[in-house]
């Protein structure tokens, strides 16, 4: 009986995972696995010394390099399995609601993003969302049907990069190696931008330790809710870069402030396309959606979603 119960628990956990499998650039879908290095299955990495911590476990590797510009809005699209839900009415798509945690983005400058090895690269962080107002980055992603977006810093220098997308699920992180990393890498070419050169970088593996407070942590408060007991949470790794020339010391330039308000579309045929940007600080484009609803993601970004 105990064996059966533990087996069912394992099966449920195994069926609750996710894969970063599409890139969107200013709302434009680049295609399933196009420009991506993605694992062949949705099993997590559960060791900070695993070689897969760089770009995920071995799997598909695209020959495409995606063109972007510094300042573009980049969407990372996560689903339960490659291609979308695991069957009809999948309750764990894009990931199980229990799998709370941060989402972070790193870049590594390379000569050729299509052929460069993920091993031995030097990485710097360009976006991060953790916990704010009781809302985790994973909650933001789930609310946006698998999409988590950020603005590529305007100072990023032209050239080719590996873009590392990391989701860290912390629901079982109260014991060593209980954390779950879900990682894919996009291959991007920044066609125009600034002249940023990182003063410090990290390696994967190497950047994280199994005892880091953002990794070895119980996120459950006295109420039993995954709110970190009302305490602040800092995702692992270095600070997000600042285009002013020094690290900003914070952990997010894209943090959601806990708001969940939405703006409905005008029902007409004009406006931003599905998954396109429809609002945000400094945004001068359309604020209605040709399809879907304009939903708030952060002060910098609102997006047309189904």
Give the pLDDT confidence score for residue 251 in this predicted structure. 43
Mention every residue, 6+ apart, whose C-beta is less than 8 A from residue 128. Answer: 102, 103, 104, 105, 235, 237, 240, 251, 252, 253, 254, 255
State the pTM of this model.
Answer: 0.80
- Which pLDDT value is given to residue 201? 98
Question: Can you give the pLDDT at residue 305?
Answer: 79
Backbone angles phi, psi at 202, to 5 degrees: -130, 165
Q: Which two tokens stand for residue 291?
A: 């399809």
pLDDT at 7 (0 to 100): 35
Positions of the chain with pLDDT lower than 50, given as ranges: 1-14, 246-268
Specify whether the CB–CB gap between 194 and 70 falls below 8 A.
yes
Torsion, CA 73, CA 121, CA 141, CA 293, rounded to 10:
20
Q: pLDDT value at position 98?
A: 96
- Three-class DSSP category at 71: coil
Residues in the chain: 306
pLDDT at 246: 41
Domain range summary for the chain, segments of one domain joined by +: 19-230, 276-305
pLDDT of res. 300:
55
How close are the terminal C-alpha atoms of the chain, in Å? Answer: 43
Candidates 3.40.50.150, 2.60.120.10, 3.40.50.300, 2.70.50.70; CATH matching 19-230: 2.70.50.70
């Amino acid at each position: 009986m105990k064996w059966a119960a533990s087996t069912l628990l394992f099966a449920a956990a195994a069926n609750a995972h996710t894969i970063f499998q599409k890139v969107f650039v200013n709302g434009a879908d680049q295609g399933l696995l196009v420009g991506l290095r993605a694992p062949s299955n949705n099993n997590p990495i559960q060791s900070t010394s695993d070689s897969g911590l760089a770009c995920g476990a071995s799997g598909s590797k695209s020959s495409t390099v995606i063109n972007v510009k510094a300042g573009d809005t980049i969407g990372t699209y996560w689903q339960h399995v490659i291609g979308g839900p695991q069957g009809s009415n999948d309750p764990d798509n894009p990931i199980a609601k229990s799998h709370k945690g941060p989402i972070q983005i790193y870049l590594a400058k390379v000569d050729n993003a299509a052929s460069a090895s993920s091993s031995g690269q030097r990485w710097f962080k360009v976006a991060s969302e953790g916990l704010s107002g009781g809302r985790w980055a994973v909650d933001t992603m789930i609310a946006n049907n698998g999409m988590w977006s950020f603005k590529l810093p305007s100072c990023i220098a032209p050239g080719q990069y590996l873009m590392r997308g990391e989701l860290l699920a912390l629901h079982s992180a109260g014991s060593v190696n209980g954390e779950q990393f879900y990682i894919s890498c996009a291959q991007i070419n920044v066609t125009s931008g600034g002249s940023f050169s990182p003063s410090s970088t990290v390696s994967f593996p190497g950047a994280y330790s199994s005892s880091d407070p953002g990794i070895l942590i119980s996120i459950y408060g006295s109420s039993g809710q995954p709110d970190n007991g009302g305490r602040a949470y800092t995702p692992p790794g270095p600070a997000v870069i600042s285009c002013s020339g020094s690290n900003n010391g914070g952990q997010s330039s894209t943090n959601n402030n806990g708001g969940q308000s939405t703006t409905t579309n005008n029902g007409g045929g004009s406006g931003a396309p599905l998954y396109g940007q429809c609002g945000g600080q400094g945004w001068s484009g359309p604020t209605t959606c040709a399809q879907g609803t304009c939903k708030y993601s952060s002060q910098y970004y609102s997006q047309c979603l189904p």
